[in-house]
Amino acid sequence: MAPSTPSAIFESLGCCSPLSGNALSETDAESIAAMFAVLADPVRLRLLSLVANQADGVCACDLVTVLDRSQPTISHHLKVLANAGLLDRDKRGRWVWYTVRKDRLAPLGDLFA
């Protein structure tokens, strides 16, 4: 006989807790959400794309002038991106050069496959 309520449908599949099968764990969800939170800002997205479009990296001094934000704000966003592992930071004398970590970006794309 067919189950009548929604949860009964899941229970009829033979498992104890209906939906916990191959779903995201709480800790996995938190770490993935943290990565998406880093990407959930238009200024950071533009910084990331600006850096990604220059194979040899970009000087922070140029990033400050391009977007319409103050120097502390750009510095803050670059730090967030670097702390998330999406940008590599390379100090060369007085300047700081950033390059994109494609090996860190790719796994995020796999989540949508």
Site for its own copies, rule CB under 8 A: 5-7, 10, 17-24, 26, 29-30, 32-34, 36-37, 39-46, 49-50, 53-54, 58-59, 61-63, 65-66, 95, 97, 105-106, 108-113
With CB under 5 to 8 Å by kind, the binding choice for 10 among its own copies, DNA, none is: its own copies
With CB under 5 to 8 Å by kind, the binding choice for 21 among its own copies, DNA, none is: its own copies
**Cβ atoms of residues 51 and 85 within 8 Å:** no
Task: Please name the residues in contact with 2: beta carbons below 8 A apart, sequence gap of 6 or more.
Answer: none
Entry field: residues in the chain = 113
Q: How far is CA 9 from CA 13, 15, 20, 89, in A?
A: 7, 11, 14, 52
Q: Is 79 in the site for DNA (CB under 7 A)?
A: yes
